Amino acid sequence: MNPGILAGSLLCCLLAASAAQTDTVDDLLATYSEEGTGPFDESTGKALWMRKLPLDDGAQRACTSCHTADPKQVGRHRVTGKRIEPLAPSANGKRLTDRWQIEKWLGRNCKWTLGRACTAQEKGDLLSFLRTQ
């Protein structure tokens, strides 16, 4: 096969993959905006990611408890020790491509970490941060 064609099709595939991520996150951000949010900010998202939150039982929880401070790193479940693949799209091409998965995990993990569901603003800020990783 002509190397040029091969390179061209590879490039197209890569672009399509990253486009898929962009589309999914953009779709979600659009949905969140409709619920009445301000502009989304990646540094606010990062601050939320890093924040250690005290809970009623005295425990401290954060996204970093399982995912580590760097979304590009492999994480571990803090109880079972199970390996968690990186959340950063740059390290893991499957991340941020499936709307249902994103909503499912944000639903669960916001409640576990914050003790309540994330607001549309918080979700948008978080995704804005994660997509840059």
Partner 1 sequence: MRKTSISLLVAGAVGLATLVLLAEDYEERDDEGYGREYFGARGEDADRERRGRGNGSGSSALSDPQYTLYKAECSGCHIAYPPSLLPAASWRAMMGSLQDHFGENTELDAATANQIMTFLDRQAAARGTGEYGERAWRATVGRAPTLRITETDYFQGQHHEIPEKMVAGNPEVGSFSRCEACHAGAEQGNFDEHSVRIPRYERWDD
Stretch in the footprint of partner 1 (CB under 8 A) among 5-13, 17-25, 73-81, 123-131: 73-81
- Regarding 58 and contact with partner 1 (CB under 8 A), the answer is no
Distance CA 84, CA 112 (A): 17
Least distance from partner 1 to the Cβ atom of residue 108, Å: 4
Least distance from partner 1 to the Cβ atom of residue 99, Å: 13
Residue 99, CA atoms < 13 Å, CB-side half-sphere: 12
Distance CA 109, CA 92 (A): 19
| Chain residues 91-130 in contact with partner 1, contact rule CB under 8 A | 104, 107-109, 111-112
Q: Which residues contact 11 (CB under 8 A, 6 or more apart)?
A: none
Interface with partner 1 (CB under 8 A): 77, 79-82, 84, 104, 107-109, 111-112
